[in-house]
Structure formats: C-alpha cells, structure tokens
A = this chain, B = another copy of it.
Amino acid sequence: MHISELDTPALLIDLDIMERNLQRAARYAAEHNLRLRPHTKTHKIPELARRQIKLGAVGVTVAKTTEAEVMLAAEPPDILVAYPVVGRRKVERLIEVARRVPVTVSLDNETAARSISEAAAEAGLRVQTLAEMDVGLGRVGVAPGELPALGRLIAALPGLELKGIAFYAGHIKKLDEKGFEQIEQLAETVERAVADFRSAGLPVEVVSGGSTPTLYQSHRIPAMNEIRPGTYIFNDRNCVACGCATWRDCAASILVTVVSTARGNRMIVDGGSKTFFSDGLATGADPYFGRLIEAPEARFVKMNEEHGYVDLEDAAARFHVGDRVRIIPNHICVAVNLHEKVYGVRDGQVVEEWTVAGRGKLQ
C-alpha cells in the first residue's frame, strides 16, 4: 500500500533511517564495551524491541510494570524497570514478570525495597536491584553521598540481589559548552559513586545511565558500563535542537491532511495535541510544535485537540484543502503513545504495520 492510501493522521516510520539509527547505536556500544539496554517507552512495540535485541541489546528498559508485561512478547534476555515500583498491585505484577524473565529494578527508598524483598522472598525469586542516585535532575534517586547507605540496605534484604548503580542525567538537554561541562561533572560524580560503592564492599557489576542526548558521549563517562537511550531509535525535533541528531536521522513523522485554508496564510491540518502531544522543545529554542518536511520554513504555531495551526507566511510552498504533509514532532515518545498504529515505510510504500501494544500502559 502506498502512503497516499493511509487515512490521516498516520504515524510513519522511515525504516531506512530507523535501521541506520539502531545500527549506529549498536556499533557504538560494541566499540566502547557498553551494555546497550534500550528504553522501550519510546516505541512501546515488542517487535521493535526484538530488533534491538537482535542487534545486541543486553535487555530492555521499561518505566512501568504494565510495560514490562507487554515487553515479555519480545522475549528479552531480561527487563530493567527503571522506576520505583511502589504499591501492592505493582509488586505483584513485577513478581509475575520475574517468574518469566530475569528482572532488575532501580530503587531509591526503603519502603519500595522492603516490599519487593518480601514479595520476592515469598515467591522464592531473586529480583536484581540497582541503587538509584540523583545526578542533577532532582527527580528520583538519593544524593550521591547517601548511595552507599542505600546500597547496604538493599544488600541486606532477602530476595534482592544488588547489582550496582543507576542514574539518569535528564538535566543534560543540549550538547553545547554547558552540556559538555555537565557531562564532565557527571563523569566525576559517577566515578566517585562507584569508588564509594566499592569501598563499602558493594557490587558495581552494573553502572547504568545514559539517555539519547548523551548517547554518543557515553565514552566520556568511563565508570558507566550500561546505557539506556530510548528516543535514538526514531529521533525527533528535540534531538535536533539538542545537537544529538540531524533531520536526516529523524525516522518518525506524522502524515496529516490540510482541512482548511480559510484564513489566508494560515492552514489547518487534521492533527493537533491529541496527535502530536503538546510538549514544547526541551531546550525552549522556539515555541513551535513540529517541522513540516514539505515546508521547513512553515511554523507549526498552535494546536487544539484535533487542529494544527500552521503559519505559512515565511514558507515558499502553498497548500490546498486535501493536500498532505508530514510533520516531525517535538517529542516522539509521547506522540507514539497517542497512536493505535505505527506504519513502517520504505520508498513511499507501507511495508510494516505495528500496534502500539504498550500505549496507555500507565500502571
């Protein structure tokens, strides 16, 4: 089927670009002896996780226990739940998944550690754990100085097997001078944390960090041996603003139809915030919502739920009602989660169709 036969909006993946993105990351990880554990929250599609594993990923990362359930279909070597698993039902889900495949969780508090420990011990299982450290985002994770105490707590609990350290440098959003300084500081923080952990007699088999912005800078953080990028499979407008990808690396775009041109230089397309999501750029570089492949000078200035407002004042191209354009979204991870289906495209032909099996898996 040609893409012109798809109803819109439709989320398209350029398979040549996606495969290049996957291969590049796999090659980089192999060259630098890094365990690549892709975060599957970006695509939420077991078939794509399967391809990542085939290219050498050591396992997958998920945020939620329901996502872990979905990712069992990819038959991963193991699953990291990079999220504090808190609450009876979630711990039950975690244990059910752990019966099928080795599971690791990252933890930053005693409540979570104890409840997983009890459930694992009762089930006669061992859940691998990473002690989570905050490296600047101020989200989850204890301060680096408190990490050995957290490690000792985990190590002493039955049913848990401490494997090392986890962190997420989500505060590094741009590869500019400041970004490189932040990476240097991060390298020092991680090195110190690893040394402190080792001094305390704690294991550092796994030192897991990484994100898409810092993906190809991972070798600058020598104490880290595992990386968990997600967005790199598709890339998006954030990645280009960050400096970690170019437009030629953006595999995902959303095909929309022009539905109204009643307002002069402004056109309305049939996708708004329920199609693209309403995240601005993480760097705040501009206030727009996507890049039109067919008219890069056009500005995607505003959205309502089902309407996208495109300002064509600075664009050479002109469009009519019924024309179609492809738009690269700001943030692909949240956009994919809005779509039931994703279409893999090669040379204008739809050659794959995937259901976003993890869509809305929030628990």
Contacts and interface: CB of A to CB of B under 8 A. Distances in A.
A337 interface: yes
Contacts of A63: 305-306
Given A87-B7, A87-B8, A111-B322, A262 B338 contact: no
Interface in A103-142: 108-109, 111-112, 134, 138-142
Contact of A334 (B141, B258, B273, B321): B273
A5 to B, nearest CB: 8
Contact of A259 (B10, B84, B305): B84
Interface string A30-60: 0000000000010000000000000000000
Given A305-B41, A306-B64, A322-B87, A108 B360 contact: no
A140 B83 CA distance: 43
A166 to B, nearest CB: 13
Interface stretch (A187-195, A236-244, A264-272, A343-351): A264-272
A329 B262 CA distance: 33
Contact of A360 (B260, B338, B363): B338
B86 A258 contact: yes
A164 interface: no
A108 B260 contact: yes
Given A63-B305, A307-B139, A109 B360 contact: no
Contacts of A309: 138-139
B338 A9 contact: no
Given A83-B306, A274-B334, 20 more contacts: A5-B89, A7-B89, A9-B362, A10-B363, A41-B305, A84-B260, A86-B257, A86-B259, A86-B270, A87-B322, A108-B262, A109-B261, A139-B309, A140-B259, A142-B262, A170-B304, A278-B279, A278-B334, A338-B360, A339-B362
7 contacts: A7-B89, A7-B363, A64-B306, A84-B260, A84-B321, A86-B321, A109-B261
Across the A-B interface, the 10 shortest Cβ-Cβ residue pairs: A7-B89, A84-B259, A111-B321, A7-B363, A140-B260, A63-B306, A86-B259, A340-B360, A108-B262, A9-B362
